[in-house]
Structure 1
Amino acid sequence: MRGAGAARLAPPLAADFFARPTLEVARELVGALVVRALEPAEVPEGREAAVLVARLVEVEAYLGPQDPASHAYRRTPRSAIMWGPPGRAYVYFSYGNHHCMNVVTEPEGTAGAVLLRAAEPLGGVEVMQRLRRGAVVRDLLRGPGRLTQALAVDRRFNGWDLTRPGPLYLARGQPPAQVATSPRVGIRRAADRPWRFFDPRSPFVSR
């Protein structure tokens, strides 16, 4: 991380934070920060590095083989990362048109991950708008595909250690006054489980 703005940010969340039950981690990630440090070549129409900061307002928990909606329901080469180590990024291409970013949870050897669904832009908003081709601020990170596009996250970061300072990490932020729950979005199996966690007062949630 470079620059005074980056120096003022909280340090990355430790691996121990993620090495806990997925539902606990998911709830506590609402309000956490996603920090993305871009090199000049990654900034559209830019010549200087940029630090993007977003506050998570919506996440979803996905468990292991006991969760039919989870990629870990059946272990595959793609989903093997969900068994650990905790704190690693699990990034995959969804429906052939966008990336989704998750963070691996649970002690190593137990599968689990939290999908980052939506966030509030806090820093580097103009750069996010360029990455999102002029989207209005409210819609910059509303939805998992928009979130990864606005933060320039793709499969290069699959397996990335989010617990260390660098181009992509998660940090402690400001927890909301309340965390609400609901069923997860856009799934058919285990659709009744209330494993979506969000800030009910935030206008940046996806729905």
Structure 2
Amino acid sequence: MKQILSLLFISSSLTLFSQEVNPDGIVRSFSNKMQEIKSLSATFSFTLENLQERITDTHQGKILAKGKMFYLDLMGMEVFSDGQTKWQYIKEAKEVTISKMNIKENSFLDDPMKLFKDYDKNFKYKYIGQQKSKNRVLHEVDFFPRDLNLPYSSVKLQFDANTLEPYLIRYQGKDGNNYIIQIKNFKSNVPLRDDRFKFDVEKHKGVEVIDMR
């Protein structure tokens, strides 16, 4: 009986050992997966959260990305970027602000793909573990920016353990405001034209152009 129990203990120990995760490998696999994606389309919810003031404000958005180019539609504003120039178009005001892309920016609204691709250059990270949400197993990782002058202290990332697709991104702001992006309807390698990521002034008659380049 003791021999049987010993064998069961050894067997269970080996099973647990084999199931141990490799944090570096997990994060690297996620980053590699995102870099392999040529283009993507997704909808998401964007929540502003201030726990001290008990404020929660949620909006729905859309993102398209292809290489270094991206497009965002959120809170009445459209953001276009061809990788070098950024156009921020406020629909209600009929106003577009043009600026150069700042490669040092690390926020979701400035460059949605930066966290996914350059995590090792711009962040330190800590693997938290696995979480469950709506019958999905998620990996959870906390990222800490190397640049201490950024307006947030950490970024929490959750991604699907099976598909390696991003699920949730949470920015912990230094000013008490947190920003939560819940990603939905994620589609990879969708056909997207390059001109989709440029704002065409000719197609928006009467728009005020503010050129900050």
Greater strand fraction, Structure 1 or Structure 2: 2
TM-score clears 0.5: no
> TM-score, structure 1 length as denominator?
0.31
> TM-score, structure 2 length as denominator?
0.30
Whose Rg is larger?
A: 2
